[in-house]
Structure 1
């Protein structure tokens, strides 16, 4: 394996999943690689939505404290290498090749031991990440869960702090159809005596998490109970809020992102940061917190690409995220006409997602399609229009580039355009605008 393209082909050529969700392949991989996961200091982040934002806030907060911070995230927005980064800089193509060369022979051994049940694509990638960070490239690594928690390949980790951001309906084919079932999977990342920080979670699924934490003697901090935020009115593309956890009281925190949910995400990240720093008996200052929050940007999440007319992209890839977008439109953009171009993967609750947006009086909805990754099917939205009640007629334009062009010609200077849905779709759109 000599080239970067060959290394990527090897990774993407692995099976995507097995019917049996089990940790045995990952544990075998770690064992044969000399347990790199035990050689890093880490924070583990699970949750339905908000994981990416919390990781981003945490990275900037830890950087402000003078630490070198590794991150493991998915999916990538522009290039594959983003998934393993140090201080926000993706690893090089050469490193990807080197790591594949290191992991591939071990994967081949396991393939031989377990015919048709060998490591998956995500397990291989996770093994590459642990191998890389075990070499000492970062002081602390923030590891984002792929799907769920208990049987996710990252869950071989024994972190310093565990984080669960939100619980909502997504990936139900793997995690179950109730919030309690989904919460049980996410709570699977909780380890004995390891502190847990959780975000804005409804009472029933929250109780599942609290029970698991109690059973494992894991100290737990909950948003709204142990730490709190107070939003402050502010104009422009910002949010401002106060944070308090009894010991830390920081007023007038400002972020360059929009949405109440981002205030929640920031507060979860602050509490996780403070918990981590206390564990290491390291000082925390108001300046660190203020600067860390202010420095955080999260590409593809309600990201402004143009001012006049306003163009925003948002990877609102499931129903909870679309409901947050609905709130954002009502709170910040009720005074203008908003055009929304939407494309979604077929395995999402796309009818409810469309209904949520279609009911807004100032929203004009345009449905489109895109080519999903690894042959994952984008939802066919061509017939959905007739099934949904909407304030304005819903359009369908199969080609998403044509949809953007059509809407650009329809809208006025004071109107807004939001392009949303699958993160894979947003990645394609962002590449077009940033080209």
Structure 2
């Protein structure tokens, strides 16, 4: 069987025997799994990043900063956009299919031993991914790891590591069914990544959340560094893919070129630089080359003339609307939009609908997106020209034929990932049709 065939077979095993959307809280399974594997997470210097928003960007920035300062590094991310390989980075690139298969097979031996102990001990999909990440990190013999928390912090399966620095980017009400109904409760869950004697870097957040985290840090003898108090960032200019910022922390670095777009990156740049500064001396040239190259697919990214970005909740939609005005002022705009059924469609479309001259409503490739007709009806309230095209690839082809000056695909990340694959490769790869979403 070809390597690619082995890769698809491995994915089928993971998606269908380790259900993708099943969540298991608690650390005893991942601890047991890693113990059987010889604790591959020990002896590595980790940055550990959580937050309601921004954690993917900060984890990415830290990975690039580490690499451009001359160190080997792995990165761990979730979810992925177009391929599961995006979850595992080595020196800022995705790992290969063969490395993925090797890591999955290694974990499988131990996971299946645990399966025999009963459902409660059977590792979940995310626990399996986490164990694979630590295996890859050990096999690559790297110095550093940059790790994004999957959900929350305290009981997240990444929380078995000992970090150089813990990072909490933002706190807002999200995953309330799991993490709690107030920002204070959510802050307590995220503060679970603060470790004894290890510094913690905080972004902007409500005072109630800040107080909870500070109390936990005090109990753990962890020094706290706050955005706006211990370090700040100021924008010099916003230009698509060529943004510029100044950083003032222990060091001052001016005119940092940042490829990632959006005013919110100001906070992420500062949080990443402060976190890295606590673990390593900053080199100005290395900092600039890291931020100039740091990249996340599908985050206000232009591919073949189409801007791709997720607007799957009201906060993200407001940022998207702000960025459209910032980078594409006074231009005629058309977009393809699709969203899954359990999201706040009304408030997302209220934010972005008026920004478009034409909006094509489609169905994201997810079992959770059946009510596209409902999305269409809501969209008509907020945009004057709305077209319904349930097939996403036909919707994109229609978008590309329009004469508008700026074109976008937004909404669900399932949609953005699917369309990105089509725009880059001219087709949808077999992996995306497996139904892992």
Normalised by the length of structure 2, the TM-score is 0.89
**Separation in 2 of the partners of 1:186 and 1:116?**
24
Aligned to 1:41: 45
Q: Does 1:367 align with 2:353?
A: no
- Which residue of 1 is the match for residue 434 of structure 2? none
Distance 1:359 1:172, change over 3 A: farther
Separation in structure 2 between the aligned mates of residue 329 and residue 207 of structure 1, nearest angstrom: 35
Which runs of 5 or more residues in structure 1 are unaligned?
278-282
Q: Which residue of 1 aligns with 2:29?
A: 25
Confirm whether residue 328 of structure 1 aligns to residue 326 of structure 2.
Answer: no
Q: Is the 8 A contact 1:17 1:120 kept in 2?
A: no
Q: Report the CA distance between 1:319 and its aligned residue.
A: 2.6
- Worse overlay, 378-387 or 157-166: 378-387
Shift of 1:393: 4.3
Partner of 2:431: none
Show the counterpart of 1:172: 176
1:175·1:181 contact (CA, 8 Å) conserved in 2?
yes
Maintained 8 Å contact 1:167/1:182: yes
How far off its partner does 1:315 sit? 2.6
Please point out which of 407, 411, 415 is paired with 2:399.
407
> Could you tell me how far 1:18 is from its partner in structure 2?
5.4
- Counterpart of 2:371 in structure 1 is 380
Alignment of 1:12-411 (within 5 A): 12-13=15-16, 14-16=18-20, 21-115=25-119, 117-245=121-249, 247-277=250-280, 283-307=281-305, 311-360=306-355, 362-372=356-366, 375=367, 377-378=368-369, 380-387=371-378, 389-411=381-403
Q: Is the 8 A contact 1:65 1:288 kept in 2?
A: yes
1:120 offset after TM fit, Å? 0.5
Deviates more, 1:332-341 or 1:142-151: 332-341
The root-mean-square deviation of aligned C-alpha atoms, in Å, is 2.3
Q: Which stretches in structure 2 are left out of the alignment for 5+ residues?
A: 426-437
2:390 match: secondary structure? strand
Q: Deviations over 1:315-336 (max 9, x none)?
A: 3333322221121123232311
Within 2, Cα distance between the matches of 1:58 and 1:208? 25
SS of the residue aligned with 2:297? coil
* TM-score, length-scaled by structure 1: 0.89
Change beyond 3 A, Cα 1:78–1:387: closer
CA distance in 2, matches of 1:200, 1:194: 20
1:280 alignment counterpart = none
Following superposition, the deviation at residue 17 of structure 1 comes to 5.6
Deviation at 1:82, TM superposition (A): 2.6
Greater shift, 5-14 or 55-64, is seen at: 5-14
- Count of residue correspondences: 420
Any conservation in 2 of the 1:86–1:137 contact (CA below 8 Å)? no
Could you tell me how far 1:261 is from its partner in structure 2?
Answer: 0.8
Contact 1:304 1:312 in 2 (8 A): yes
After TM superposition, give the deviation of residue 20 of structure 1 in Å. 5.5
Question: What secondary structure is seen at the aligned counterpart in 2 of 1:160?
Answer: strand
> Secondary structure at the residue paired with 2:145?
strand
Quote the Cα distance in structure 2 between the aligned partners of 1:363 and 1:212: 49
Change (3 A) 1:298 1:17: closer
**Aligned equivalents of 2:105, 2:383: Cα separation in 1:** 55
